[in-house]
Structure 1
């Protein structure tokens, strides 16, 4: 089911045109304008720091970090940075384009239906998430590439290559930490080889790969500084070096929304020029709010475990649905879940679109289209014409919950055994 783009297919041509336009959004300001902004100059800076042997982080973990990722991404950025800004920006744009194509291909191949979808069905998730893709190109963020890595890891896992799958999960984790949330799932499902591979390769990518470039002792010191500054900090002001974003409306993680609902935190704090605004329903202290977050997270985790069918009853359909739920949970479990993080809903949306098209039950198909429309409507509340209050209360988080409800329903209510889409056990 996986294939290359073809100039003979109109939708593939449209995809290529979109990629060219999005790449132009990156390169034109740099070549003919005042220079590309957002995160692109930071990536070039990080690559140059490695090339020149300079520090990636300040000596004091409490100081502000310019670069908030582990050392490995800086090592990878150094390669195209050696050629200059334009080659680096072009390389990142091509990576995003390839990741976009692979995300669509893998998501459509992993729905469990065993069917090659029609071109419009296959393309519909891409249309539904195109604003997130624009953010990936415009901002220069790696979340789309990480999504393709995680999907490829699951594709390899499901096709008898557990060590390769674990390696891909590890690479995504070593670039941006939040994909580590896949590890508890692998352990619960007793994917021992994949879990062992992931743990081993995380160590390799974090400790061994940067060592020849940065030096072993220096890399350890930088990892220690990064960990203390990013992972080991948490207070009422925020966490992970970006306190002004942690409690503001831009963050729709479970942690952030829970704190905004239980504490009188200013959700306008990302912009000091804006008047302070709060939205809490009750008033708790920071410590108690963290206990609420822990309780909510535990309930969600236990609910996910309860929904999972036993290994003897797993089918390709149910496996696709549980992996799609996992992607939803990994998205909202990240401490910082900005708008573009919800690009990771691509797989859940794809799975539900397939169910809405091929499920033999008319009522189920109609209800699934209704759920997809509701989730899409909630996501549209992020457009600038609406108040940021709607994002502060978690419109994308609510959309994710709607998708999860639909996926859970399909796990608990599979098609009849004699249905033409009932598939074999995995």
Structure 2
């Protein structure tokens, strides 16, 4: 109620809600009036950074005015915030029902990210709920619907498409086919009756050139002042800030330039370092993933928890609220810290959780922004992923020997065929 009031009260009794909310209304109105969402020149400034499909969704409540749109977005965040812990605890792999305090703990830890979702009007919490729903459907042997959920999240905001390589490696072919077909439908077919097929194709090309295919020393994806600044804690941004002289105060021209680079490399060399770091992380994750014979419900949860960490860091622009996606990995670690039969492991897991939370707390405005420039949330994510990796490599004896749903999949498929 309080978070919804933060959205609606300024619009009803104040001077109007700010942040991204007026932009969403503008995008919806552009669709309703058949106007362009992007400038014709892909090098020009984009007001709206999302694919045209997102604007189609915004147009529906925008038809009724600003207040219904803002109320609808708040309701979606409420539903997502309600469902996210339920999916997270259900897929934590401990097969234990959490007590109320345990159920609420991950939500308490991530409350600042949730506030950003309501205050800014960003969809990352809704995307998290959609992705968790997709993986829950995948565990329930409904790969085609799961692929549709992954495609929906990717069509709204592109970075969830990072799930695609994971599905390839785990040979989820039905889910992959579904995701591909639904993504094509969301991007090409759904907007066509509203925008016109050719108009939609033209806008998709403009959006792709301006957002995905644009990268230079000055920045990428339309927001150069944010790409290299302290607000971005992606692997790409932190690596560039550490390897070449990049002013991390670009978002505030009133402040003097500030640098944190340890070496002085050119843009191309820094990109090669980003590629090398990403390759090492990706190969390490693949090597860590248990074989089909060794998979358990517990290891599957930890594997997905690391995946959510990596999808967050892989986004070229990872602002503070992007780390809302740590909700699921944190939930898994809370279960391990509470239910693991080994006392020393429980203590170590709590220690890792506390370290990660303390690192995330460095984003509170009382601390200098330089700490965020060095990647405090990125470091917290690495700690969480590292603890999850340790749990995959060191399962309890009873968990290592117990059959998993993954092991039973071939048998279930044979039974279904018979």
Superposed CA RMSD in Å reads 1.0
Please give the per-residue CA displacement for 1:24-65, whole angstroms capped at 9, x wherever unaligned.
000001111111000000000000000011100001100000
Structure 2 match to 1:31: 12
Structure 2 counterparts to residues 406-417 of structure 1, below 5 A: 406-417=387-398
2:120 alignment partner, one of 139, 163, 179: 139
Structure 1 match to 2:236: 255
Is residue 2:122 matched to residue 1:159?
no
2:129 alignment partner, one of 148, 153, 168: 148
Structure 2 counterparts to residues 322-361 of structure 1, below 5 A: 322-361=303-342
Deviation at 1:380, TM superposition (A): 0.2
Is residue 2:212 matched to residue 1:221?
no
CA distance in 1, matches of 2:128, 2:384: 18
Secondary structure, counterpart of 1:417 in structure 2: helix
Is residue 2:193 matched to residue 1:174?
no
- TM-score normalised according to structure 2 size: 0.96
CA distance in 1, matches of 2:394, 2:241: 35
Please give the per-residue CA displacement for 1:366-408, whole angstroms capped at 9, x wherever unaligned.
0000000000000000000001000000000000000011100
| Alpha-carbon contact 1:230-1:239 (below 8 Å) kept | yes
Deviation at 1:418, TM superposition (A): 7.4
Deviation at 1:127, TM superposition (A): 0.4
Q: Which runs of 4+ in 1 moved over 2 A?
A: 421-426
Is residue 2:361 matched to residue 1:373?
no
Structure 2 match to 1:200: 181
- TM-score normalised according to structure 1 size: 0.94
CA distance in 2, matches of 1:34, 1:401: 41
Structure 2 match to 1:398: 379
Secondary structure, counterpart of 2:85 in structure 1: helix
| Alpha-carbon contact 1:313-1:425 (below 8 Å) kept | no
Aligned length, in residue pairs: 406
Query: Alpha carbons of 1:37 and 1:163: their partners in 2 closer, same or farther (altered >3 Å)?
Result: same
CA distance in 2, matches of 1:279, 1:169: 37
1:79 alignment partner, one of 56, 60, 64: 60
Is residue 2:404 matched to residue 1:424?
yes
| Alpha-carbon contact 1:415-1:422 (below 8 Å) kept | no
Secondary structure, counterpart of 2:398 in structure 1: coil
Deviation at 1:423, TM superposition (A): 6.2
Deviation at 1:424, TM superposition (A): 3.4
Deviation at 1:422, TM superposition (A): 5.6
Unaligned runs of 5+ in 2: 407-418
